[in-house]
């Protein structure tokens, strides 16, 4: 039998390889690691990423971003049945555009204590967890909130899951396993609302929209004063940096259904491992992580109509006791199942879930809830560790949609492909990922080249390309409200290239 041929790298990749290979040939280990005490393991990576924006459109764009990071992990096996792990990550982000913004944070990563006794395993600590057997489009991957600021624009491949406090116990009665988990503390998703390329409110949106709301009068002096006041208001709003300071993030945890410890999530999983297949059933009673944001009419109506507040609205706005923006989280139920089957060189996996309460918004900026069903199918082909091709598709259905849904539609379909090719004994890894939403006509393409220069040193180059419908007119609230495309088109002006150096230790 003729062995399968390896896919050929592109001419560009070969040229790049030709430039890099001399340095590979000269590669020597940077240092020798000392043996670690028995039971102890530790290590980490430091990295630096520079990512220029490839499409400058307008004055409000970020021009480039620089990220530096440190990941560290230490694990110790106290006894054969007990061990713990502590990990942490630190990130420094510098964005340079019409303004320069810097942001630093250091967080605990997966840090837990685990104890095994016979068939029972108990783990308590902070964890990033995953439900569902699909590797790419996974409807049941709902346990951890997502940090959307990690996923877009020069981010490379940072894990967007926010680790959560969790206690979980697994009873392993192979081939059956039963798991119960409790997430005692609620954490919301994290997103940039305003002020950067991948924020919900695009840079320039307020700068463009607010001056238009300043009325003109026949009196020139008054006009000047109003304009100056409007400019001051714009400056004050623009100076808010909700991403860096989490200034609006506090609104996302304003109203939880219950007080601690009862506002957490409770979940259960039953798994079965058969010959040639794995199956799981899931149940989660949880706080829905998207809040129903409620805008007071005094702010919502003028914003929608891009006009000045009326006298009554002004009175309401200036009332010290008024709560202009509030949010409410409700409880919901998620139930689902998955199945993975190996057939020759392929693994087929499928998973689906029913979500009793999902939050959506109308074009009137009013929230509503609806049940939702989402299912996904994934096909993965593997040629040893040399080549992996994954193709996946999912379909989400909002059961009770509103006629005037903001951005979203009743049906959402995504297709995703990810190809990974490892060459030269895994020194070179070429990855091509792409996702496409045929309803929104949203497209995201992410080619990536990783070169292992030394045993612990990698250089990574990538492109992140966004296509799709964009708001018309762009950078306005009106355009945002009337948008018919999806998030990738919304961010379409923000293609990024990135180069990264990563050193392991």
Partner 1 sequence: MTKPRLLRTPLLLLAMALCAAPAVAEEPTADEIIQRSSENRTVSNSIQRMTLEVFDKSGNSRTRKITSRVKKGAEDATWSYVYFDEPEDVAGVQFLSLENPTGEDDQWMFMPTVGTANRIAGSSRKGSFMGTDFTYEDMSLGQPEDGDHTLLPKTSVTVGGATFEAYVVESIPKPETKSAYTKIVTYVDTTEFMPRQVDLFDKKGEQIKRMSFTDVEKSGEVLVPKLITMENLKRKTKTHLRVDEYEVNVDPAKLPDEMFTKEYIEGEG
Nearest distance in Å: CB 166, partner 1: 12
> CA–CA separation, 406 vs 359, rounded Å?
11
3-class SS of residue 154: coil
Our finding on whether 419 is near partner 1 (CB under 8 A) is no
Judged by CB under 8 A, which of 119, 245, 307, 411 binds partner 1?
119
Instruction: Give the residue with the Cβ less far from partner 1, 251 or 387.
Output: 387
Only one of the segments 122-130, 201-209, 218-226, 297-305 lies at the binding site for partner 1 (rule: CB under 8 A); that segment is 122-130
* Contact of 362 with 407, CB cutoff 8 Å: no
Q: Which residues contact 70 (CB under 8 A, 6 or more apart)?
A: 44, 45, 46, 89, 90
Our finding on whether 177 is near partner 1 (CB under 8 A) is yes
Nearest distance in Å: CB 146, partner 1: 14
Instruction: Give the residue with the Cβ less far from partner 1, 55 or 119.
Output: 119
- Judged by CB under 8 A, the chain residues 437 through 496 that form the site for partner 1 are 452, 455-456, 458
Q: Which residues pair with 359 in a beta bridge?
A: 369
Our finding on whether 276 is near partner 1 (CB under 8 A) is yes
Q: Which residues contact 373 (CB under 8 A, 6 or more apart)?
A: 352, 353, 354, 355, 396, 397, 399
Phi, psi angle pair for 84, to nearest 5°:
-140, 160
Instruction: Give the residue with the Cβ less far from partner 1, 326 or 454.
Output: 454
Instruction: Give the residue with the Cβ less far from partner 1, 279 or 406.
Output: 279
3-class SS of residue 156: coil
Sole residue written with tokens 């709560």: 323
- Judged by CB under 8 A, the chain residues 241 through 270 that form the site for partner 1 are none
Our finding on whether 278 is near partner 1 (CB under 8 A) is yes
Only one of the segments 39-47, 88-96, 196-204, 211-219 lies at the binding site for partner 1 (rule: CB under 8 A); that segment is 39-47
Judged by CB under 8 A, which of 12, 29, 39, 281 binds partner 1?
29
In 160-306, at which residue ranges do the beta strands (DSSP E only) sit? 164-173, 176-183, 265-274, 277-287, 292-295
Judged by CB under 8 A, which of 18, 25, 311, 403 binds partner 1?
25
Number of residues that bind partner 1 (CB under 8 A): 67
Nearest distance in Å: CB 342, partner 1: 5
Our finding on whether 422 is near partner 1 (CB under 8 A) is yes
20-29 contacts at long range (C-beta below 8 A, 24 or more positions apart): 20/451, 20/453, 20/459, 23/453, 24/424, 24/427, 24/451, 24/453, 27/453, 27/454, 27/455, 28/454, 29/454, 29/455, 29/456
Q: Which residues pair with 73 in a beta bridge?
A: 43, 87
Our finding on whether 117 is near partner 1 (CB under 8 A) is no
Nearest distance in Å: CB 149, partner 1: 19
- Judged by CB under 8 A, the chain residues 306 through 345 that form the site for partner 1 are 340-345
- How many other C-beta atoms are found inside a 10 Å radius of the C-beta of residue 303? 16
- The contact mask relative to partner 1 for 371-400 (x = CB under 8 A, - = no) is ---------xxxxxxxx-------------
- Helix, strand, coil fractions of the chain, as percent rounded to 5: 15, 45, 35
Judged by CB under 8 A, which of 133, 146, 327, 476 binds partner 1?
133
Q: Which residues contact 51 (CB under 8 A, 6 or more apart)?
A: 64, 65, 66, 67, 153, 154, 496, 497, 498, 499
Query: What does the H/E/C string look like for 184-207?
Result: CCCCCCECCCECCCCCCECCCHHH
Instruction: Give the residue with the Cβ less far from partner 1, 27 or 68.
Output: 27
Nearest distance in Å: CB 344, partner 1: 5
Judged by CB under 8 A, which of 427, 441, 478, 495 binds partner 1?
427
Instruction: Give the residue with the Cβ less far from partner 1, 175 or 212.
Output: 175
Our finding on whether 170 is near partner 1 (CB under 8 A) is yes
Q: Using CB under 8 A as the criterion, which residues of the chain lie in contact with partner 1 when the complex forms?
A: 1-4, 24-25, 27-29, 33, 41, 43-45, 73, 80, 114, 116, 118-119, 121, 123, 128-130, 132-133, 135, 159, 170, 172, 174, 177, 271, 273, 275-278, 340-347, 349, 380-387, 422, 424-427, 452, 455-456, 458, 504-505
């Amino acid at each position: 039998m003729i062995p399968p041929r390896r896919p050929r790298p592109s001419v560009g990749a070969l040229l790049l390889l030709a430039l890099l290979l001399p340095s590979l040939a000269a590669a020597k280990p940077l240092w020798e690691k000392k043996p670690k005490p028995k039971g102890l393991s530790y290590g980490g990576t430091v990295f630096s990423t520079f990512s220029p924006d490839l499409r400058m459109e307008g004055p409000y764009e970020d021009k480039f971003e620089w990220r530096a990071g440190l990941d560290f992990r230490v694990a110790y096996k106290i006894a054969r049945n007990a061990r713990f792990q502590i990990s942490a990550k630190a990130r420094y982000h510098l964005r340079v555009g019409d303004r320069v913004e810097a942001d630093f944070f250091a967080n605990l990563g997966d840090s837990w204590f685990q104890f095994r006794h016979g068939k029972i395993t108990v783990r308590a600590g902070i964890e990033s967890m995953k439900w569902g057997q699909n590797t790419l489009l996974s409807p049941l991957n709902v346990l951890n909130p997502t940090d959307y600021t990690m996923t877009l624009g020069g981010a490379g491949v940072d894990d967007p899951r926010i680790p959560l406090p969790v206690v979980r116990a697994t009873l392993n009665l192979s081939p059956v396993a039963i798991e119960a988990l409790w997430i005692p503390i609620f954490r919301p998703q994290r997103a940039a609302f305003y002020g950067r390329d991948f924020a919900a409110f695009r840079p320039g949106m307020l700068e463009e929209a607010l001056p238009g709301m300043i009325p003109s009068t026949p009196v020139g002096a008054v006009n000047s004063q109003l304009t100056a006041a409007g400019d001051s208001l714009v400056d004050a709003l623009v100076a808010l940096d909700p991403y860096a300071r989490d200034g609006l993030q506090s609104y996302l945890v304003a109203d939880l259904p219950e007080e601690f410890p009862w506002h957490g999530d409770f979940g259960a999983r039953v798994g079965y491992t058969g010959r040639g297949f794995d199956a799981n059933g899931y149940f989660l009673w949880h706080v829905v992580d998207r809040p129903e944001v409620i805008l007071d009419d005094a702010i919502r109506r003028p914003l929608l109509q891009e006009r000045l507040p009326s006298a009554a609205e002004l009175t309401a706005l200036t009332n010290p006791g008024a709560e202009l923006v509030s949010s409410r989280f409700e409880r919901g139920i998620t139930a689902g199942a998955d199945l993975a089957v190996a057939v020759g060189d392929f693994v087929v996996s499928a998973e689906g879930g029913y979500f009793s309460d999902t939050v959506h918004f109308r074009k009137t900026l009013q929230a509503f809830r609806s049940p939702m069903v989402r299912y996904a199918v994934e096909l993965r082909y593997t040629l040893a560790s040399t080549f992996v091709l994954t193709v996946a598709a999912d379909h989400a259905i909002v059961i009770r949609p509103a006629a005037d849904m903001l951005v979203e539609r009743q049906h959402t379909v995504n297709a995703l492909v990810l190809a990974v090719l490892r060459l030269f004994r895994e020194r070179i890894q070429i990855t091509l990922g792409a996702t496409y939403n045929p309803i929104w006509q949203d497209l995201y393409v992410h080619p990536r080249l990783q070169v292992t220069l030394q045993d612990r040193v990698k250089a990574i180059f990538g492109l992140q390309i966004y296509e799709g419908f964009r708001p018309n007119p762009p950078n306005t609230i009106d355009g945002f409200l009337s948008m018919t495309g999806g998030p990738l088109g919304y961010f379409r002006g923000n293609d990024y290239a990135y180069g990264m150096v990563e050193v392991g230790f």
